């Protein structure tokens, strides 16, 4: 299975004929493993849920450029593994809820889901410090929750409701927490911003770093290279994180593209490998003060690029299905937990149910209250009336005395016809 | 003090009082091409005043990241003509971050300084006036000072304003405008125009370098040289022109301009950028709406031509005193 996964990367890098004519190149393009279930338990499992034990990662979990690879020996506890499982399951449930709400036409506009990439978002959170900063592109929902937000806040934002973390004004790509500088709609624009945030951390002498994330698509943006250069020039604690879920560039070895910035390619489907790589990066930039590092997570997105992309024009349904059934990060972790005797199938089903219940509750809460009437005028300069768009946005006016409607310049007739679309302020 | 010294003084004042304030841009550690950052690196250290690569988009994005962390970021884009690579970061990131984050983040501590307008021989990429391109970027402020006193007060106001500000310095004034500038810390308000000469017959509105051409034009109108005397009607000698420096381009001080035009009934707008899509069009449109019944003549714009700024004959490209005089006579005799 591991070898199959490795060929996948090479195969997508260039047309088959080209590959066949240059076997040496094909070999050099081999990537890391993208298996989710090849980590081995070392020694005996402790009784306590909080006592660390050792795991051994697959030897092809990492590839490095200008630096050593992270250790394959991982110290972890039962509790941490169970938390990872629950969080990945919750994140997937949230994205699935967003998918359903979008298809029900309750979420409009752009929406990019990260189903299949849970090992990266959750794995990152287990490797970093709460005060580290994260900034990413438009595929941002899980990070917003894991960095201190709520599922209700994310879904409310997608729905354009007041419960949203940006009061429903930002939408899918624009969600922030104090340590998460948001999703960003402009491809690649967040990367130099992340370098600036890292500079501020260094300037203040904080023992923290900034993870500036982008996708393989954004990796060709000029400003990504501008940010690489500044970060290396000034030795900033910036971890550039490329989530490679597609891989179409002249050089698909994204971890090598930082020029003099060392890089590590990581199996982004195994959450234990992902966490290990993030810990390594933190140590590199913060404890060792070695400057920037590039992390490439080789991962896989089950859905299309966005809701309007079926995701099957540039890859086959069979490929997606194979990844789902053989290399799913959640199923992989599930298998570890069961095989190593950390949890039973029933235990995990219970966690699944809890995740579903948590998301379902958040969906209902998020649906409440639209908030269209704020953030338009500077406080104290609001006009006496504002117009709405839809019939249900005018109910208070329809019940208002006719005199006050006349004062607003509304004729009774047009109100009765229901399309006058005027709303009194303070309503 | 001249303008570049006043700008330097403002930055030194800001840095002395705010430990988080840093100045960065292309060549700023060496003093910058217009000497605006002379000696700042020596005074405040190379950690706080540093050169960047030639990376305008990166500079803007980097400044946004710093400002989002609560740092005072004073970035320099070496020429306003080079601000276009940074346009995406400024318009899409800096301007919108407060709104799109539900006010949980802002980059109010970001100020982008950049030299603007014609210098006599700048040519295509050293003489442009790009302020009009930012008019639609709600969330940004755009400020253009006319003199050293104004430059220091407005720059300090911009650095401390809770919104990201693009501060455009008319480059020909760096050395040519000299005033007694207070060495104290003082701020001038953003979003407020200033009536330089009160009058009741015509409002002459401008900003930056053309303030001086307009002043000359007013003298020509009231007291023409003998060779121009025959071309300027006798009735023009006694007219009272109201000269206004807009100072803040975004948001522009609608209240002051509307009040003035309601009194004078006539408006001439002068700017160096081309007419099409220029700031003048926006102001003219709003004034004809708000002062329609008070206007005695159409709002007139005197601007650069709608062509790239050529290297030669720049003097004929920008609106000079004679073109302003001509527009005022036409408007007054409409």
Domains defined along chain A, listed by start: 32-366 (3.40.50.970), 376-427 (no CATH)
Q: Do B71 and A222 touch (CB under 8 A)?
A: no
B61 vs A182, A210, A223: nearest CB: A223
| pLDDT score, position A371 | 64
Q: Chain B: give the shortest CA distance to residue A350, in Å.
A: 35
A189 vs B20, B61, B103: nearest CB: B61
| pLDDT score, position A390 | 56
Q: Chain B: give the shortest CA distance to residue A243, in Å.
A: 21
Q: Do A192 and B57 touch (CB under 8 A)?
A: yes
Q: Nearest residue on chain A to B92, judged by CA atoms?
A: A186
Q: Do A230 and B63 touch (CB under 8 A)?
A: no
Active-site residues of B, by number, are 56, 126
A223 vs B57, B63, B105: nearest CB: B57
- Residues 6 or more apart whose CB falls under 8 angstroms from that of A143 comprise A121, A124, A134, A136, A180, A183, A213
- DSSP for A314-359 reads SS-HHHHHHHHHHS-HHHHHHHHHHHTTSS-HHHHHHHHHHHHHHH
Percentage of residues in chain A with pLDDT exceeding 70? 82
Which of A143-147, A175-179, A371-375, B295-299 shows the lowest mean pLDDT across its residues?
A: A371-375
Tens digit of pLDDT for each residue in A50-71? 999 999 999 999 999 999 999 9
Distance CA B105, CA A178 (A): 8
Distance CA B132, CA B135 (A): 5
Evaluate whether B92 touches B43 at the Cβ level (below 8 Å).
no
Is CATH 3.40.50.920 the right assignment for the domain spanning B194-333? yes
Mutate to test the interface with A, among B67, B101, B163 (most CBs of A within 10 A): B101
At B73 the three-state DSSP class reads strand
Q: Chain A: give the shortest CA distance to residue B281, in Å.
A: 24
Tens digit of pLDDT for each residue in A77-91? 999 999 999 999 999
pLDDT-derived band at A392, boundaries 50, 70, 90? low
| pLDDT score, position A21 | 37
Q: Chain B: give the shortest CA distance to residue A227, in Å.
A: 6
A chain contacts of residue B22, beta-carbon cutoff 8 Å: 203
Q: What's the mean per-residue pLDDT of chain A?
A: 85
Q: Do B104 and A178 touch (CB under 8 A)?
A: yes
Low-confidence stretches of chain B (pLDDT < 50) are none
Mutate to test the interface with B, among A148, A165, A196 (most CBs of B within 10 A): A196
Give me the residues paired with residue B234 across strands. Answer: none
| pLDDT score, position A391 | 54
Distance CA B114, CA B82 (A): 9
Q: How many CA atoms lie within 13 A of B140 on its CB side?
A: 26
- Residues 6 or more apart whose CB falls under 8 angstroms from that of A293 comprise A67, A239, A240, A261, A262, A263, A264, A281, A284, A285
B104 Cβ under 8 Å from any chain A Cβ:
yes
**Two tokens, residue A82:** 């169970």
Q: Do B71 and A189 touch (CB under 8 A)?
A: no
pLDDT-derived band at A360, boundaries 50, 70, 90? very high
Evaluate whether B32 touches B38 at the Cβ level (below 8 Å).
yes
pLDDT-derived band at A27, boundaries 50, 70, 90? very low
> Average of pLDDT values for A141-154?
97
At A255, phi and psi to the nearest 5?
Answer: -70, -10
Estimate to the nearest angstrom the gap between the alpha carbon of A240 and the chain centroid.
14
Q: Do B69 and A189 touch (CB under 8 A)?
A: no
At B231, phi and psi to the nearest 5?
Answer: -90, -15
> Average of pLDDT values for A250-272?
95
A43 Ramachandran zone, left/alpha/beta (phi>0; psi -120 to 50): left
Q: Chain A: give the shortest CA distance to residue B164, in Å.
A: 15
Q: Nearest residue on chain A to B100, judged by CA atoms?
A: A170
Neighbours of A368 (CB within 10 A): 12
Name which of A109, A158, A200, A69 is nearest A359 in CA terms.
A158
| pLDDT score, position B221 | 96
B64 Cβ under 8 Å from any chain A Cβ:
yes
Quick check: A247 pLDDT over 90?
A: no
How many residue pairs bridge chain A and chain B with CB atoms within 8 Å of each other? Answer: 120
Quick check: A367 pLDDT over 60?
A: yes
Q: Which residue has the tokens 């700008």?
A: B7
At A213 the three-state DSSP class reads strand
- Residues 6 or more apart whose CB falls under 8 angstroms from that of A106 comprise A159, A367
A196 vs B47, B57, B63: nearest CB: B63
B47 Cβ under 8 Å from any chain A Cβ:
yes
Quick check: A274 pLDDT over 70?
A: yes
At A414, phi and psi to the nearest 5?
Answer: -65, -30
Q: Nearest residue on chain B to A232, judged by CA atoms?
A: B53
Domain with CATH 3.40.50.920 in chain B: 194-333
Which of A227-241, A296-310, A365-379 shows the lowest mean pLDDT across its residues?
A: A365-379
Evaluate whether B180 touches B287 at the Cβ level (below 8 Å).
no
Is CATH 3.40.50.970 the right assignment for the domain spanning B3-176? yes
Tens digit of pLDDT for each residue in A103-146? 999 998 889 999 999 999 999 999 999 999 999 999 999 999 99
> Average of pLDDT values for A298-315?
89
Q: Chain B: give the shortest CA distance to residue A76, in Å.
A: 33
Domain with CATH 3.40.50.970 in chain B: 3-176
At B153, phi and psi to the nearest 5?
Answer: -65, -40
B223 Cβ under 8 Å from any chain A Cβ:
no
Angle at A350 between CA A348 and CA A353, to 5 degrees: 115
- Residues 6 or more apart whose CB falls under 8 angstroms from that of B232 comprise B220, B221, B224, B325, B329
Q: Do B100 and A195 touch (CB under 8 A)?
A: no
Q: Do A201 and B70 touch (CB under 8 A)?
A: no
Evaluate whether B271 touches B317 at the Cβ level (below 8 Å).
no
**Two tokens, residue A159:** 């729905």
Evaluate whether B173 touches B115 at the Cβ level (below 8 Å).
no
């Amino acid at each position: 299975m591991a070898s199959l996964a490795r060929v996948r990367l090479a195969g997508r890098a260039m047309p088959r004929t080209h590959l066949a004519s240059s076997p040496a190149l094909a070999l050099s393009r081999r990537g890391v493993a993208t298996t989710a279930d090849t980590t081995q338990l070392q020694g005996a499992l402790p009784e306590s849920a909080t006592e660390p034990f050792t795991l051994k990662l697959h030897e092809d979990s990492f590839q490095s450029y200008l630096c050593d690879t992270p250790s394959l020996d991982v110290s972890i506890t039962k509790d941490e593994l169970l938390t990872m499982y629950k969080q990945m399951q919750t994140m997937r449930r949230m994205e699935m809820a967003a998918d359903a709400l979008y298809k029900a036409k309750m979420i409009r506009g752009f929406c990019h889901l990260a189903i299949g990439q849970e090992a990266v978002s959750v794995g990152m959170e287990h490797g970093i410090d709460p005060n580290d900063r994260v900034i990413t592109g438009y595929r941002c929902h899980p990070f917003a929750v894991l960095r201190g937000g709520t599922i209700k806040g994310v879904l409310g934002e997608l729905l354009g409701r007041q419960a949203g973390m940006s009061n429903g004004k930002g939408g899918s790509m624009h969600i922030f927490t104090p340590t998460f500088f948001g999703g960003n709609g402009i491809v690649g624009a967040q990367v130099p911003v992340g370098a600036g945030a890292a500079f501020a951390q260094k300037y203040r002498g904080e023992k923290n770093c900034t993870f500036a994330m982008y996708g393989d698509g954004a990796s060709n943006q000029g400003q990504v290279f501008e940010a690489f250069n500044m970060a290396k020039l000034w030795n900033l604690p910036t971890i550039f994180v490329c989530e490679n879920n597609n891989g179409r560039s002249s050089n698909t070895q994204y971890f090598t593209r930082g020029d003099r910035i060392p890089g590590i390619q990581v199996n982004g489907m195994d959450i234990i490998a992902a966490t290990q790589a993030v810990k390594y990066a933190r140590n590199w930039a913060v404890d060792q003060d070695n400057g920037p590092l590039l992390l490439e997570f080789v991962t896989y997105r089950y859905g299309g690029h966005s809701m309007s992309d079926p995701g099957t024009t540039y890859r086959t349904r069979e490929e997606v299905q194979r990844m789902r059934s053989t290399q799913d990060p959640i199923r992989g972790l599930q298998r570890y937990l069961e095989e190593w005797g950390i949890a039973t199938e029933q235990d995990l089903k219970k966690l699944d149910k809890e995740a579903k219940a948590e998301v379902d509750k958040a969906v209902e809460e998020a649906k409440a209250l639209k908030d269209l009437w704020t953030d338009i005028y500077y406080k104290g300069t609001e006009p006496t009336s504002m117009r709405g768009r839809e019939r249900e946005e005018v109910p208070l006016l329809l019940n208002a005395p006719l005199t006050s409607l006349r004062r607003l310049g509304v004729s009774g007739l047009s109100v009765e016809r229901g399309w006058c679309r005027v709303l009194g302020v303070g309503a | 003090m001249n303008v570049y010294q006043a700008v330097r003084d403002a930055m030194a004042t800001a840095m002395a009082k705010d430990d988080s304030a840093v100045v960065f841009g292309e060549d700023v550690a060496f003093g910058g091409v217009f000497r605006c950052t002379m000696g700042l690196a020596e005074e405040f250290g190379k950690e706080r005043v540093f050169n960047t690569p030639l990376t305008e988009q990166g500079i803007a994005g980097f400044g946004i990241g710093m400002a989002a962390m609560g740092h005072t970021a004073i970035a320099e884009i070496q020429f306003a003509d080079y601000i276009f690579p940074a346009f995406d970061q400024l318009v899409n990131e800096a301007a919108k971050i407060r709104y799109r984050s539900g006010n949980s983040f802002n980059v109010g501590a970001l100020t982008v300084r950049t030299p603007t307008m014609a210098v006599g021989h700048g040519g295509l990429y050293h003489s442009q006036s790009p302020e009009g391109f930012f008019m639609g970027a709600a969330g940004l402020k755009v400020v253009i000072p006319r003199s050293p006193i104004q430059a220091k007060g407005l720059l300090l106001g911009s650095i401390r304003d809770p919104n990201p500000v693009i501060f455009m310095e008319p480059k020909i004034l760096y050395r040519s405008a000299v005033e007694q500038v207070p060495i104290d810390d003082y701020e001038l308000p953003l979003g407020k125009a200033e009536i330089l000469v009160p009058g009741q017959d015509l409002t002459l509105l401008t900003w930056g370098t053309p303030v001086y051409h307009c002043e000359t034009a007013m003298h020509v109108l009231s007291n023409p040289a003998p060779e121009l005397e025959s071309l300027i009607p006798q009735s023009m000698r006694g007219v009272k022109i109201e000269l206004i420096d807009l100072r803040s381009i975004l948001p522009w001080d609608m209240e002051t301009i509307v009040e003035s035009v309601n009194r004078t009934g006539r408006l001439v707008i002068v700017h160096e950028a081309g007419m099409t899509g220029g700031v003048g069009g926006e102001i003219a449109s709003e004034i004809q709406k708000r002062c329609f019944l008070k206007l005695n003549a159409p709002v007139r714009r005197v601007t650069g031509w709608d062509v790239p700024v050529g290297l030669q004959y720049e003097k004929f490209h920008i609106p000079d005193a004679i073109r302003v005089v001509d527009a005022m006579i036409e408007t007054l005799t409409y």
